[in-house]
Structure 1
Amino acid sequence: MARKQKDYLADILGNEDETDRSEAAEPDRTPPEAVTHRPFYPPPRATVQLDGSAPPAPSPSPASARSRGTTLLGRQSALARVASGEVRQVTQLLLDPARVRVWPGNARSYEHLTEESCRELIDSIIAEGGQKVPAIVRRIESDPDHEYEVIAGTRRHWSIRWLRAHSYPDMKFVAQVVDLDDEAAFRLADLENRARKDVSDLERARNYAAALKTHYDNHLTRMAERLKLSKSWLSKMLKVAKLPDAVIAAFASPAEVQLKPAYPLAQAMDDRMRATAIRKEASVLAREQEELRKARKNTLPSSEVVARLLGAGQDREQSGKLVLTGAQDRPAVSVNAANRQGVTLRLHAGHGLDEDELIDLVREALSSLEAEGRGLQR
Structure 2
Amino acid sequence: MANFVRDILTTLSYEPEPAEALKAEGEELVRLDQRLAGFNQGAARRVALSIRPSDCSVWDGNPRDVPGLSYESCRSLIDSIAQEDGNRIPVLVRRSAPGADQPYELLVGSRRRFSVNWLNHNGRPEVRLNALVVEMSDEEAFRLADIENREREDITELDRARSYQRAVDRFYGGVQSRMAEALSLSNSQLSRLLSLALMPDDVVNAFATKAELRVRHSEVLTPLLRRPEQRLQVLAAASQIAEEQQRLAASGERMITAATVLTRLRSATRTDQPAGAETPIVVGGVQVGKVRLAKDGIALDVQVADDQNLDEMLTALGRVITETRALSAAA
- Specify whether residues 225 and 9 from structure 1 end up closer, same or farther in structure 2 by C-alpha distance, changes over 3 A only: farther
Work out which of the residue numbers 223, 231, 235 in structure 2 matches 1:267: 223
What is the deviation of 1:108?
0.4
**Residue 161 of structure 2 contacts residue 194 of structure 2 at CA under 8 Å; is this kept in 1?**
yes
Alignment of 1:13-32 (within 5 A): 14-16=40-42
What is the deviation of 1:6?
7.1
Counterpart of 2:210 in structure 1 is: 254
Counterpart of 2:159 in structure 1 is: 203
Counterpart of 1:305 in structure 2 is: 261
Alignment of 1:1-378 (within 5 A): 9-12=36-39, 14-16=40-42, 88=44, 90-314=46-270, 321=272, 335=274, 349=329
Q: Secondary structure at the match of 2:233?
A: helix
**Residue 119 of structure 2 contacts residue 125 of structure 2 at CA under 8 Å; is this kept in 1?**
yes
Instruction: Give the Cα separation in 1 of the matches to 2:98 and 2:35.
Output: 31
Pick 1 or 2: higher relative contact order, CA cutoff 8 A, min separation 6. 2
What is the deviation of 1:246?
1.8
Instruction: Give the Cα separation in 2 of the matches to 1:300 and 1:165.
Output: 37
What is the deviation of 1:348?
5.2
RMSD over aligned CA atoms reads 2.8
What is the deviation of 1:122?
1.0
- Specify whether residues 297 and 138 from structure 1 end up closer, same or farther in structure 2 by C-alpha distance, changes over 3 A only: same
Instruction: Give the Cα separation in 1 of the matches to 2:33 and 2:178.
Output: 21
1:287-324 CA-partner distances (Å, limit 9, x unpaired): 1111111112222121211221122123xxx8xx3xxx
Question: Which amino acid in the other structure matches residue 115 of structure 1?
Answer: Y
- Specify whether residues 267 and 349 from structure 1 end up closer, same or farther in structure 2 by C-alpha distance, changes over 3 A only: closer
What is the deviation of 1:145?
2.9
What is the deviation of 1:15?
3.2
What is the deviation of 1:99?
2.0
Question: Which amino acid in the other structure matches residue 263 of structure 2?
Answer: A
What is the deviation of 1:142?
4.2
Question: Which amino acid in the other structure matches residue 106 of structure 1?
Answer: N
Instruction: Give the Cα separation in 2 of the matches to 1:6 and 1:336.
Output: 57
Instruction: Give the Cα separation in 2 of the matches to 1:95 and 1:296.
Output: 41
1:125-173 CA-partner distances (Å, limit 9, x unpaired): 1222221110000111345531111101011111111111111111111
What is the deviation of 1:249?
1.1
Instruction: Give the Cα separation in 1 of the matches to 2:139 and 2:232.
Output: 37
**Residue 9 of structure 1 contacts residue 191 of structure 1 at CA under 8 Å; is this kept in 2?**
no
Question: Which amino acid in the other structure matches residue 148 of structure 1?
Answer: Y
Greater Cα offset, 209-218 or 144-153: 144-153
Question: Which amino acid in the other structure matches residue 38 of structure 2?
Answer: D
**Residue 152 of structure 1 contacts residue 189 of structure 1 at CA under 8 Å; is this kept in 2?**
yes
Question: Which amino acid in the other structure matches residue 279 of structure 1?
Answer: L
**Residue 45 of structure 2 contacts residue 134 of structure 2 at CA under 8 Å; is this kept in 1?**
no
**Residue 122 of structure 1 contacts residue 159 of structure 1 at CA under 8 Å; is this kept in 2?**
yes
Q: Secondary structure at the match of 2:254?
A: coil
Question: Which amino acid in the other structure matches residue 206 of structure 1?
Answer: R
1:324-347 CA-partner distances (Å, limit 9, x unpaired): xxxxxxxxxx74579xxxxx9999
Aligned residues: 259
1:249-291 CA-partner distances (Å, limit 9, x unpaired): 1112212211122322123211221111010011101111111
**Residue 58 of structure 2 contacts residue 110 of structure 2 at CA under 8 Å; is this kept in 1?**
yes
- Specify whether residues 88 and 144 from structure 1 end up closer, same or farther in structure 2 by C-alpha distance, changes over 3 A only: closer
Q: Secondary structure at the match of 1:170?
A: coil
**Residue 262 of structure 1 contacts residue 306 of structure 1 at CA under 8 Å; is this kept in 2?**
no
Question: Which amino acid in the other structure matches residue 263 of structure 1?
Answer: E
What is the deviation of 1:214?
0.5
- Specify whether residues 201 and 278 from structure 1 end up closer, same or farther in structure 2 by C-alpha distance, changes over 3 A only: same
What is the deviation of 1:104?
0.9
What is the deviation of 1:8?
5.5
Q: Secondary structure at the match of 1:249?
A: helix
Segments ≥4 residues shifted beyond 6 Å: 1-6, 344-347
Q: Secondary structure at the match of 1:92?
A: strand
- Specify whether residues 313 and 260 from structure 1 end up closer, same or farther in structure 2 by C-alpha distance, changes over 3 A only: closer
Question: Which amino acid in the other structure matches residue 124 of structure 2?
Answer: Y
Unaligned ranges ≥5, structure 2: 1-26, 278-293, 296-324
- Specify whether residues 285 and 130 from structure 1 end up closer, same or farther in structure 2 by C-alpha distance, changes over 3 A only: same
Q: Which has the larger radius of gyration?
A: 1
**Residue 202 of structure 1 contacts residue 257 of structure 1 at CA under 8 Å; is this kept in 2?**
yes
